[in-house]
Amino acid sequence: MRDLGWSTARRLIPRTLPAWVLIVLIAVLLVSQTSLFVIMSRDRVASNETVDFYRINERAFWLAKLMTPLSPEERKRISGELTDPTVVLTLSSSPGVALIAASSDPLAELEDILSAQLSRFGIEDVRVRLEEPQLPDATARRAQNPDQTSDVQENLSEIASDFLKSPRYRVSLRFQDDQWLNIVTPVTPTGPLLSPDSLPTYLAVSACVVMIAFWAVWRIAAPYQLLEAAVRRLGDDLNSPPLPEKGGRDFRSAARALNQTQARLQEHFEERELLAAALAHDLRTPLTRMRLRLALLRNSSLKKALAEGIADIEETVESVIGLAKLGANTESMELIDLWSMADAIADEYEEATMEPLKGETPRLICLAPPVALRRSIRNVVENAIKYGHSARLALRHDERHVILAVIDEGPGIGDAEIDRVFKPFIRLEQSRNRETGGSGLGLTIARNLIRKLGGEISLRNNPGGGLEARLILPRPAT
C-alpha cells in the first residue's frame, strides 16, 4: 500500500518546466499574500490599541475636569446623562477595577500617564483593566434592529453590534472625596481584512493575476518547447529546416548552437556519402575486372569459391554504402498500403509467407518513402530466412500504429543479445546459422530507416521457438 501511494504521488508530481514555474509562482503569491494579511492584521490591532488608549486618555481627562468641582449628586446626574449604549459611566464608593495593572502590562504605563495628567484635578488613583464583554439580550436585540433597511442604517447597526460584542476597558478614577468614577468603553473592533463587498473584487483580481501568470509562463516556455521539438525533429530528420534565431537572448544562443550542430552533422554525412561513393567507385572497378577474369577460367571448385568471395565483398560494399547514405535519404513520403507491400515482398521469396487479414480489417496505411520502407522490410525478411530458415509475415494494428511481425523458425537468440544485434557488423555466430554469410548490417539499416519514419523495430523470442521481429509504424492522422 505504501509503494502504491508513493507511485500515485509520483505521477501527480509535474515533470515539465512550465508546470514547476507555475507552481513556484503561485506558491510565492500565496505565501506573500498570507504574510501580507498577517502583517496587516497585526498592524491594525496595534493601531486600534493606540487609538483606544488615546480615547481613554481624552475621556478621562475631560470627565475629570468636568466632575472634580461638582458634588456627588451632580456627578451622578451628569454621568447618567453622558451614558450611551457603548460608553457607560457609573459612580460608586468602591472601584470597578479592584487591582492596579501589573508592571509588565501595557495598561500599567497607561495608568501612570493618566495619573500624571489627572493629578491637577485631584485624582488620587487611576486603575485600568481589559475585560470580556457582557452583552444583555435586550441590548443585543436593540443593536440588531430588523426594521432597518437602508445601507447606512445597516452599517451603523453592524458597527454598534461589533462594539457591543468586543472586549472593553474599565477605568476607575478616585476623587478627593473617595468617590470612584467608573468608565466602561469598548475596544475598537478589528473588522475583517476582506469584507463581503470587497471579496469578489479581490478574487477577481487574484484570478486575473493567475491568468496573467499562466500567459507569461506560456510565453516564456514556448520558445523552449519549440527548441525541444526542433531537437526531436533533428533526431528524426537531419535535413529538417533550421530553427529561427529569434526571441530572447538565451533562446537565440541555444537556437544558434543547435543550427551549428545540425550544419556540422550535415557536413559530416555529406563527407561520409562522398567517402561511400569513392569507396564504391574504387571497389566496383577492380571487382568487375575480377569477375571478367574469373569468367575466363574453367569451371572448378576454386572458381566457385572465388565467385562466392567476390559476391560477399560486393554485398558488404553495398551494405556499407547503404549505411553511409542513410542520413542523406531525400525520397518523398507517400501513403502506402502496408499489407500490399508486405504481400508483394513475401512473394519474392519461396521461404516467406503472408498471413491473410482476418475479418473486415480496414486498409492499413502508413506514410513513408516507399523504397526505404521496402528495403527495411526486405532486410528483416532476409535476416529471418538466412538464420531462421523461413519468414512468416503477419500484419496487426491498433488505433495509433501498424505492426508488421516477421516470425522465423530458428533457434532464437539470448535475451541479453537482442539489443546488440542491431549494432553494425554484429553477427551472433554461436546462435545463428553462418552458412549463408551476411554483412551484419541488415538490421542496423532497417532500424535506422524505420526510426527515421517515427517507428521502431523490436525483437523477441517466441515461447514456441523462433524469433519475432516487429516493425512498428505510426498511422497517419485522418
Angle at 366 between CA 363 and CA 369, to 5 degrees: 135
- Indicate the domain borders of the chain: 17-132+167-186, 235-324, 331-474
Q: Are 338 and 395 in contact (CB under 8 A)?
A: yes
Backbone angles phi and psi of 88, in degrees to 5: -115, 130
Q: Are 457 and 472 in contact (CB under 8 A)?
A: yes
- How far is 202 from 192, CA to CA, in rounded Å? 13
Q: Are 236 and 451 in contact (CB under 8 A)?
A: yes
- How far is 410 from 127, CA to CA, in rounded Å? 106
Give me 230's grid cell: 526542433
- How far is 218 from 135, CA to CA, in rounded Å? 56
Q: What SS3 class is residue 74?
A: helix
Cα of first residue to Cα of last residue in the chain, in angstroms, is 43
Q: Are 366 and 377 in contact (CB under 8 A)?
A: no
Amino acid letter for position 308: E
User: What is the residue whose three cell numbers read 505504501?
Assistant: 2
Annotation: CATH topology of 331-474: Heat Shock Protein 90 (3.30.565)
Amino acid letter for position 115: S
pLDDT value at position 301? 75
Q: Are 378 and 393 in contact (CB under 8 A)?
A: no
Q: Which helix (H) or strand (E) element contains residue 149?
A: none
- How far is 247 from 358, CA to CA, in rounded Å? 53
| pLDDT (tens place) for every residue of the chain, 478 residues total | 555 555 565 666 776 777 788 888 888 888 888 898 888 888 888 888 888 899 889 989 999 899 888 888 898 888 888 888 778 888 888 888 888 878 788 888 888 899 998 988 888 889 998 888 765 544 444 444 445 456 666 666 666 666 667 788 889 999 988 899 999 888 888 777 777 777 888 888 888 988 888 888 888 777 777 887 888 777 766 777 888 887 778 778 888 888 888 888 888 877 777 777 777 677 777 877 887 877 777 777 777 777 777 777 777 777 666 666 655 556 678 888 888 888 999 999 988 999 887 766 677 888 888 888 888 888 889 888 888 888 999 988 888 888 899 988 888 887 777 777 777 666 665 444 444 445 566 777 788 788 877 788 888 888 877 888 899 888 887 6
List the beta bridge partners of residue 402.
397, 473
Residue from 126, 106, 105, 104 nearest 115 by CA: 126
Angle at 452 between CA 318 and CA 368, to 5 degrees: 90
Annotation: CATH topology of 235-324: Helix Hairpins (1.10.287)
Q: Are 225 and 233 in contact (CB under 8 A)?
A: no
